[in-house]
Chains A and B, each alone.
Chain A
Amino acid sequence: MKAGGDEPADEVLVARVRAGDVAAADQLVRRHLPLAYTIALAVLGGRTDADDVCQDAMVRALEKIDDCRSPSRFRFWLAQIVRNHARNALAKRRVRGGPSLDEIGEHPAPGHTSESAERGELRAALLAALDRLPPVQREVVLLKDLEGWDHRMIAAALGVSEGMSRQHLFVARGALRTALGAEARRDHLEGPRHG
């Protein structure tokens, strides 16, 4: 996968990381952390441990970088590692019966501006709506609308056909619009929620 501008491509960075180049590793991590977070979020459905999962998966990827057979497809390889880590975390959480973000709510920290509070509320509403989707639909809609992947990439990453990817996207977008519309109507009827 080519990087934009003068930035070195993934395969170049992977080769440097294999030689122990810290700066290259840092660049690779920063480039792909948002994607790792998106995948973790998709599998965990808005769980609070998406951060931990994506960090664990990133560390694992750096440790096992020799196993990446196609460095130019590093992001697909990383996505699979994150997906596996997230599924394991989800299984453990189910056993322990931990709460989801939907259950505990995600509120902006005190001292935040009203704009960031508004964004926090929107984020919480989105997470709650995403949590109601099946994992494959969550992943398709997040990869498409958040990461900007095309259906060919999504199909390759998830092992589904491009047609199925389009179908998942269509259903997921519809469900999210419905859920967010209902949320907005409820807010309008009940007024802003505090605390």
Chain B
Amino acid sequence: MNFEENNTDQINAARARICDYYTRLNEFFLKRSDLLKLMMVAAAAQEPMLFIGRPGTAKSLLVSVFCQGLGMKQDDYFEYMLTKFTEPSEIMGPVDINELKGGRYLRKVAGHLPTAKIAFLDEIFKANSAILNVLLTVINERKYYQEGKPLPVPLVCMFAASNEIPDFGEFDALKDRFIIKAETLPVRDSCFHELIRTGISFESRVHNREKPWKSDCTLDDFVLVHDYVVSTVLPAAVQRDDRVILGDERVTTAFKAIISVLADELKVEITDRKLIKLYKLIMTQAFIFNGGNVTREELKILCYCGNNFSDVRKIKDYIEERLANLD
């Protein structure tokens, strides 16, 4: 896609709306600003994001409010809780019996994952192998199959949640697709009274069917920013000299150093795909929130690139502490 000069106003407006939306959503959550920013970046970069945490730590609430605020239609949002008995029909839509009588194996996909723009899959690691294969194709290639023919899916972003990240090899591919894995920690101890107030306010709003988080930002803004970043920002950025591929020499050096420590010393698996996606996510966040400048704030995305539960906890503190030395 080529962006004419007059379209840059549109893109800047979309970027501003996303920033306003992020600020607005922050008002309704306690200590979730990092997660909300990651959600904005994940949606704009069209990369999946995984929430890990105990039940009752606002994982699904974050996604549901995020989608409500964007004013999404019901069919555009797909949410499902997976169990080990969930079968592909529940995710991809049931087989069309009338078509089957005519000898065609087609699914009625309306209202299911193939037609969703944002999807939220709870307990994703409970998925069995049949679901896993379908999900990998949808996440990675943005397509699904009807009678062996690949068809595109309009999915912009997939969010998923889990209480744990299993170590079984069969989930390795799926884990690697979720570059961002963020832990939702309870805030009870640090914000006891505020938590009760905020929680009750939420309950009241739901009861009164109020949605004060609705904004003028839409999913189209995220799509517009994504198209611009992928077609213009990233190709220009990678043309830069090696030492400043993130725009600033110190930041680029820090990025390389952290990746090396993660891989060699902290034993976090950094696949080639993960490295490329991390670069894309960092640049996307810089574009939306920092006028394209990559600073240590953008490098904080590296805190969320662990592969399993122990990684996620281990590397967050390590990276935050080291990045504090960067300014």
**A and B assemble together:** no
Which of B's residues lie within 8 Å of A, judged by CB?
none
